[in-house]
Amino acid sequence: MKRISMREGMRGLATVAVTLGMMTAGITSRAETVLSNLTATISSTQYITANQWIAQSFDTNAQAWTLNSVSLSSDRGNPNFHNGNFFAFVHASTGTGDSRIPGASLGQLIGTDNPDGSQVYSYTAESISLDPSSRYWVLMGVSDGNSNYDFNYADVVAATGVWSYPYGGTFGGIVAESSNYGGSWTLSNYGPFLMEFDATLAAVPEIDPASLGSALALVLGALGLAERKRRRVIG
């Protein structure tokens, strides 16, 4: 049987140390566009008011993510009813299958409360973590007053990115509507809305440097002991 010399053992240990050292630094992820249909042909618009809230569903892929921002395609609509109080939140799902509806809120999307132009508005997410292979919702509404905002949607679910819009047969891109401030929801057969999602892959847990140092010390000690025993046998 081939004996491993102290030099070979140290060389192997160095390789392990470099590899584990890189792991302690974690894997740096960068933001990317994970879902977008902003370039889709607009089919029509849907209004959002204090009495008409809308939620657009989307599905994550088999990875965990941190949501960074959501961009919404707005239509100008009637400027006489652009008086602010618009909001957008991200919600988890409740229910099963394609009968799922918006559930618990995961956090607000921060941006203008008066998206009154025919343009794309970006809303920032603050530390919203999303699980793998899960359905979520972008809930849009008006908190109070007589504001009326129109947003664009397409009647095709084709989009780019690793996430997707669900297709629920007669439910189209699975849009949910509420006329009682989110107290109850019905699923509608149009959409999805034109949106873009930017997210970052969830960080890989880092290795505790103290634990790593202890492990390397044990390996080094074992190699030294083995080498001393080998020399005594040879000598």
What CATH number does the domain containing 145 carry? 2.60.120.380
Per-residue pLDDT of 41-98, as tens digits, reads 999 999 999 999 999 999 999 999 999 999 999 998 888 899 999 999 999 999 998 8
pTM for this prediction: 0.77
> Does residue 222 belong to any structural domain of this protein?
no
DSSP 3-state percent helix, strand, coil across the chain (nearest 5): 25, 40, 40
Per-residue pLDDT of 91-120, as tens digits, reads 999 999 889 999 999 999 999 999 999 999
The answer to whether 42 and 153 have CB atoms below 8 angstroms apart is: yes
> Does residue 16 belong to any structural domain of this protein?
no
**pLDDT at 18 > cutoff 50:** no
> Other C-beta atoms within 10 Å of 81: how many?
16
> Does residue 40 belong to any structural domain of this protein?
yes
Q: Which residues contact 16 (CB under 8 A, 6 or more apart)?
A: 216, 219
User: Residue 132, preceding bond cis, omega within 30 degrees?
Assistant: no
The 8-class DSSP code of residue 95 comes to S
At 228, list the tokens: 């001393």
So what's the pLDDT on residue 172? 86
> Does residue 156 belong to any structural domain of this protein?
yes
The answer to whether 88 and 67 have CB atoms below 8 angstroms apart is: no
> Does residue 91 belong to any structural domain of this protein?
yes
The total domain count for the chain is: 1
> Does residue 65 belong to any structural domain of this protein?
yes
Distance CA 103, CA 144 (A): 21
Q: Which residues contact 41 (CB under 8 A, 6 or more apart)?
A: 154, 156
2 vs 153 pLDDT, higher one: 153
**pLDDT at 212 > cutoff 60:** no
At 235, list the tokens: 């000598």
User: In which domain, by residue range, is 140 found?
Assistant: 33-201
> Does residue 93 belong to any structural domain of this protein?
yes
So what's the pLDDT on residue 29? 74
CA-based angle 73:133:103, to the nearest 5?
65
Phi and psi, residue 140, nearest 5° = -125, 140
> Does residue 225 belong to any structural domain of this protein?
no
